[in-house]
Structure 1
Amino acid sequence: MKLYNNTTNAVVQALEQIFGEQRYADKVIEKVLKQNSKWGARDRRFIAETTYDIVRWYRLLREISQAGEHDYWKMLGAILVLQDIPLPAWEEFKGVNPNEIAKRKRNADKFRKVRESIPDWLDELGEKEIGKLWDKELSSLNEEAQVVLRVNTLKTTKKDLRERLLEENVQTYTVEGFPDALLLKERQNVFIAPSFKGGLFEVQDAASQLIAPFLNIEPGQRVIDACAGAGGKTLHIAALMKNKGRIIGMDTEKWKLDELQKRARRGGVTNLETRVIDSSKVIKRLENSADRLLLDVPCSGLGVLKRNPDAKWKLSEEFITNVKELQQHILQDYCQMVKPGGLMVYSTCSILPSENQQQVKKFLDNNPSDFELLEDQHVWPSDGFDGFYMALLKRK
């Protein structure tokens, strides 16, 4: 592969924003790719994939290239060497020695925290919480995430969507156990597809697609998604409800709910109402009103490092401590919105027991006469998709 100044510069520019300015990698890459309309699909793929690779392997690349904290050219040189791409004789790559990199890589592979490129504290936390599973799951979290679509059954069927996507030069395949999921055979920008603009599908990881059905929803019910965000799971709930009944999407951020409304219009959802949680009164007004309640709570996001590799460099022990307090607060306060006899799902995209089953146990210990656990489920990154936890509880 021949390297060009403008594409390699774009990678370095993206890394400066991700690490130097602490911006989210997906937003940075999206912005950088808009800079040059002459870049073809191959150029764009190189910029996006190389940037993500360096973010994912940041610690390892620094170690084997002996780069400074912001010496992104050396890290870029190292990843290219590892990918067997010949380095051009550019000034920026001066001092990048392929033989030395290979030697240091062999040494680095002896130490898990360097080999898997993760901060010391996070490696220790993962091993402490899930023990022997950590090796396997950590390795899986460094794999590239697959692109998964969720068929919008309000507008189409899986069979019809596959045929439509083929006409749009998007090849997909099905996966057992995920009735509404289609996986891309080749990574590409599906947001420009006419079928996406027509609301026939959403991009949503297969593991995430398990959460809405876990609520055991029936059309005609009143369902509350109390941590809706931009609404991927809310829209799935609406599809399962077949636009019958009422779904209330709630969040503390109005702009997220505005995005949800926009996506709902595109997807043909007609039974959605949104409410901003700007005081405790919003929750109180909905006491004993929901047949089903989804609490997809804020979390560490450790289960989704495949698609958000920059998160491991932005996370801190303090953040995880604080988010666990928030999770328990949401459980204790929001649970009152469920009717007696109704069902509630608590879910996270974390693989840490302290955010998952331990939070549910603590909640049940505080509410022994009000709720019971019916079942819970783990989806591990080593299963091939994102890591999720979900617990189904019934209000007595």
Structure 2
Amino acid sequence: MKLHRNLVFATIDSLDLIFNENKQADKVLRNTLKRDKRWGARDRGFIAETTYDIVRWKRLYAEIAEVKAPYSRPNLFRLFTVWATLNGIKIPDWPQFEDTPTRRIKGRFDEAIKTRALRESIPDWLDALGEKELGKLWDKEIAALNNQAAVIIRTNALKTTVKELQNSLFDVDVETATIKGYPHALQLKERSNIFSTEPFKNGWFEVQDASSQRVAQILNPEPGMRIIDACAGAGGKSLHIASLMENKGQVVSMDIYQSKLTELKRRARRNGIHNIETRLIDSSKAIKKLVGKGDKVLIDAPCSGLGVLKRNPDSKWKLNPERIQNIKDTQRELLDSYSRMVKEGGQLVYATCSILPSENTDQVKAFLKRDEGKDFTLVLEEKIYAHKTGFDGFYIALLQKK
């Protein structure tokens, strides 16, 4: 592979914003990729994948390159050199790459990978927490979460079938495969810009990981019900729920951010969904109005996001023990408050994209012991690990109200 100056510089600029200005990787790349209209799919793919790769392996590469944050521009080029050398790419004869110790890189790599926190490129505190909570599973799980995420899409059953979607994507050179046990899922065989395709514009599918698709399956909404999605965000799960309800009944999608609910409305229109009502949680009144009104309530709780490190590798550099404790406090509050919206005989689903028992099983057990959870019983829980499925790490618990 020959390195092109403008693509390498765009990658370095992106890393500078992510590492030194604490900007979100996906937003940075969205802006970077608009910089030059002449860039084709391969050029944009190089910038995005290289940037994500260096973000994912930041600690390991910094150890090998002998650089520390904040990263100066020469230091960012040293990180890039480590990435290129370990990927067998010839370093060009540019001023920016002078004095790079390419010969020492391999030796330092062999030494660094003897230590798990360096090998898996994670902070020491996170390595200790993962081992404490997951024991021997942590080794396999953190290794699996360092792999690039597959692109999974969910068929919109209101508009098409899996087979019809598969054929229409094949017509535009996008090959997919079905996934056993996931009735609406298709996995892309190669990454491609599917958002520019007619099937996407026509609302035939949404991008949604297979593990995330399990949430609505376990919730099992039926046409005519009133379902409350209490932490809806931009609404991936609300859209799935509405399609399973065949547009009959009502989905109340709630969130504390109006911008996310506005995006949900836009997505619902493209999906041909008209049984979703969005409600902003701007005070406790929003919850009080719905106490005892939901046939089923979904709490897709804020979490550490450790189960989705494959697609958000920058989040491991933004987390810290205090933040995780704050998240767990919020989860507890949401369970106590939002569970009140379940009517008698109704069901509650608590879900996170975390793999930590302290955010998952422990939260549910503690809730069932508190007064707020005394009317609920645990029907089933599903712990989804990336090293077993290849998809995101997830937790889903189904609770029945008396």
Structure 2: how far apart are the matches of 1:186 and 1:307?
Answer: 16
| One-letter amino acid of the counterpart of residue 133, structure 2 | E
The answer to whether the aligner puts 1:268 opposite 2:296 as a matched pair is no
| The one of 360, 369, 372 aligned to 2:374 | 369
Following TM superposition, by how much is the alpha carbon of 1:97 offset from its aligned partner in structure 2, in angstroms? 2.0
The answer to whether the aligner puts 1:386 opposite 2:392 as a matched pair is yes
The answer to whether the aligner puts 1:62 opposite 2:68 as a matched pair is no
C-alpha distance after superposition, 1:239-276 (max 9, x if no partner): 11000111000000010000000000000001010000
Structure 2: how far apart are the matches of 1:287 and 1:297?
Answer: 18
The answer to whether the aligner puts 1:46 opposite 2:28 as a matched pair is no
Identity of aligned residues (%): 54
| The one of 373, 385, 401 aligned to 1:395 | 401
- After TM superposition, the structure 1 = structure 2 runs for residues 27-42 of structure 1, keeping only pairs within 5 Å, are 27-42=27-42
| The one of 84, 88, 108 aligned to 1:84 | 88
Structure 2: how far apart are the matches of 1:214 and 1:23?
Answer: 35
- After TM superposition, the structure 1 = structure 2 runs for residues 80-159 of structure 1, keeping only pairs within 5 Å, are 80-159=84-163
Partner of 1:5: 5
Structure 2: how far apart are the matches of 1:183 and 1:110?
Answer: 34
Structure 2: how far apart are the matches of 1:14 and 1:194?
Answer: 30
SS in 2 for 1:125: helix
Q: How many residues align?
A: 396
Structure 2: how far apart are the matches of 1:143 and 1:121?
Answer: 21
The answer to whether the aligner puts 1:184 opposite 2:182 as a matched pair is no
| The one of 242, 245, 268 aligned to 2:246 | 242
- Residue ranges of structure 1 left out of the alignment (5+ in a row): none
Following TM superposition, by how much is the alpha carbon of 1:23 offset from its aligned partner in structure 2, in angstroms? 1.1
SS in 1 for 2:354: coil
| One-letter amino acid of the counterpart of residue 191, structure 2 | R
Following TM superposition, by how much is the alpha carbon of 1:192 offset from its aligned partner in structure 2, in angstroms? 0.9
Following TM superposition, by how much is the alpha carbon of 1:98 offset from its aligned partner in structure 2, in angstroms? 2.1
| The one of 322, 325, 340 aligned to 2:329 | 325
| One-letter amino acid of the counterpart of residue 39, structure 1 | W
| One-letter amino acid of the counterpart of residue 33, structure 2 | L
Following TM superposition, by how much is the alpha carbon of 1:27 offset from its aligned partner in structure 2, in angstroms? 1.1
The answer to whether the aligner puts 1:162 opposite 2:166 as a matched pair is yes
Following TM superposition, by how much is the alpha carbon of 1:95 offset from its aligned partner in structure 2, in angstroms? 2.3
RMSD: 0.8
Structure 1: how far apart are the matches of 2:67 and 2:370?
Answer: 51
SS in 2 for 1:38: coil
| One-letter amino acid of the counterpart of residue 28, structure 2 | V
- Segments ≥4 residues shifted beyond 2 Å: none
Query: What is the TM-score when the length of structure 1 is the normalising length?
Result: 0.99
- Residue ranges of structure 2 left out of the alignment (5+ in a row): none
Structure 2: how far apart are the matches of 1:234 and 1:217?
Answer: 11
| The one of 327, 346, 360 aligned to 1:356 | 360
Structure 2: how far apart are the matches of 1:334 and 1:58?
Answer: 39
Following TM superposition, by how much is the alpha carbon of 1:90 offset from its aligned partner in structure 2, in angstroms? 1.3
| One-letter amino acid of the counterpart of residue 183, structure 2 | P
SS in 2 for 1:180: strand
C-alpha distance after superposition, 1:25-81 (max 9, x if no partner): 111111100100111122111101100000000000011111232121100010000
